[in-house]
Amino acid sequence: MDGHAILRKLIREYNLCPKLCFLQKDPGRCEGMEDGYCIGACEHDEPAAAYNERVAKAASSLQSQPTFVIVDAGLNGDDQSCILIEKGTFYGMGYIPADEKISTPEKLKAHLTMYRENSFIRNLVHGYAARFPQKIITFEPR
């Protein structure tokens, strides 16, 4: 379900064709053309090179997701709570010593418990990050 949701978002954001992305399987008219976001690659109204350029941009947008940690108060004065988002995906959470310098995601992972991600957790964490940007430490992409 999450994959379909991401693909549908990319289709609309980059004006891709749901037929060429294999989401629309019926032989009828392209849903994207009817809704105004498909430019017509599926009906040969658009050059393949132009369409493929947008596909490449959509694919690269998936690679450039942010890596950040949310740092907040811990259970006591000796620690801090941390939630790690790695390349846009929830990695895990846990506690680090209060005096620990947060320099790389790799160093944090030793202190964190890895958890499975789902859309509920992802939305919850990203919503919290948006409400409390002062608690965010962003890492530069590598």
Residue-wise DSSP of 13-69: HTT--TTTTTS--SSSS-HHHHHT---SGGGT-S-HHHHHHHHHHHHHHHHT--EEE
Q: Is the pLDDT of residue 142 over 80?
A: no
For position 24, what pLDDT does the model report? Answer: 92
For position 79, what pLDDT does the model report? Answer: 93
Mean pLDDT on 128-135:
92
For position 96, what pLDDT does the model report? Answer: 92
Q: How confident is the model at residue 141 (pLDDT cuts 50, 70, 90)?
A: low
Mean pLDDT on 115-142:
88
Mean pLDDT on 36-49:
92
Mean pLDDT on 85-90:
89
Q: Is the pLDDT of residue 4 over 70?
A: yes
Helices then strands, each counted (H, E), the chain: 5, 5
Burial readout 5-27 (b: 16 or more C-beta within 10 A, e: otherwise) = eebeebbeebbbbbbbbeebeee
Q: Is the pLDDT of residue 109 over 80?
A: yes
Q: How confident is the model at residue 87 (pLDDT cuts 50, 70, 90)?
A: confident
Q: Is the pLDDT of residue 83 over 70?
A: yes
- Residues 86, 67 contacting (CB under 8 angstroms): yes
Q: Which residues are CB-neighbours of 11 under 8 A, at least 6 positions away?
A: 17, 18, 21, 23, 32, 37
Q: State how far the Cα of 96 lies from the Cα of 104, in Å rounded to an integer.
A: 13
In this structure, of 61-65, 78-82, 117-121, 132-136, the range with the lowest mean pLDDT score is 61-65
